[in-house]
Structure 1
Amino acid sequence: MSLLWRILAILFLALAIVGVVLPLLPTVPFLLLAAWCAGRGWPALEQWLLGHPRYGHSLREWRRGQVVSRRAKWAASVSMAFGALVLQFAPVPLAARIAVPVVMLIVSIWLWRRPEQ
């Protein structure tokens, strides 16, 4: 079972790394998942993630009580709005052009309802 948690942790960490480069793919949610999986099967990776100089604070705050900083809320909201705008010009089905921004709006509302401190 430990091997499964390690594989999932690596998968989510890889997605988070890709999210650093691609503006439409989130980074922190994948880091949250990676830390959660690592906590079940790879404590050393979990500690490394929690101690990371850039993302560790956000991970620790989330664990403390689903706390999300205002700066992170703004960054996520602007990124989602930009992604929704870009999607309108992409060659995708109309259903995707409607559904994806609706989901992003729901996520944004949920995000802004998280505590900040």
Structure 2
Amino acid sequence: MNLQQTLGFIGIFLPLLPTTPFMILAAGCFAKSSPRFHKALLNNRFIGDDLKRWESERTMLRVTKIRATWVIVVTFSISIAILYDRYLLQLMLILIAAILLFFLWRVPEKNFNNK
């Protein structure tokens, strides 16, 4: 597992390191440096279809956005709850979550029917 994949895996559990950007970065890096690893990412059963769609069309499915939204809301909520009585840090997390959600929902959508 390389650095980008490791960071992507860690990002599954840490709200400040979202998985998707690191997996997109890894796919982009591998496209130029290692066709073998690039193909492995694109054939991954969990993220492969989303990466292929991103590379070819720069779009996401609405269902992917909804899942990502739930992950962001749940993980940030847990982090905010852990930081009880640390209002500045809680506010910072709320702002970061809002920025992430803003940019997530600005990504163009591919209709589920038009796969």
Q: Same fold (TM over 0.5)?
A: yes
Q: Which residue of 1 aligns with 2:104?
A: 111
Among 58, 75, 78, the alignment partner of 1:83 is: 75
Matched, 1:28 2:20: yes
CA RMSD of aligned residues (A): 2.1
1:49-68 alignment runs, 5 A limit: 49-68=41-60
What's the CA shift string for 1:65-111, capped at 9, x where partnerless?
32111111111111111122212222374332111221211221221
Matched, 1:71 2:63: yes
Distance 1:40-1:95 versus aligned 2 partners, 3 A rule:
farther
Asked whether the equivalents of residues 58 and 68 of structure 1 are also in contact (C-alpha less than 8 Å), the reply is yes
Equivalent-residue separation in structure 2 for 1:78 and 1:41 (angstroms) = 34
Q: Which residue of 2 aligns with 1:4?
A: none
Equivalent-residue separation in structure 2 for 1:101 and 1:79 (angstroms) = 14
TM-score, with length taken from structure 1: 0.78
1:33-48 alignment runs, 5 A limit: 33-48=25-40
Once superposed, which parts of structure 1, at least 4 consecutive aligned residues long, lie more than 4 Å away? none
The percentage of counterpart residues that share the same residue type is 25
Among 65, 87, 92, the alignment partner of 1:94 is: 87
| Count of residues in correspondence between the two structures | 108
- The residue type paired with residue 38 of structure 1 is F
Alpha-carbon shift at residue 23 of structure 1 (Å) = 6.2
Equivalent-residue separation in structure 2 for 1:64 and 1:100 (angstroms) = 33
Equivalent-residue separation in structure 2 for 1:100 and 1:54 (angstroms) = 27
- Answer with 42-51 or 81-90: which moved more: 81-90
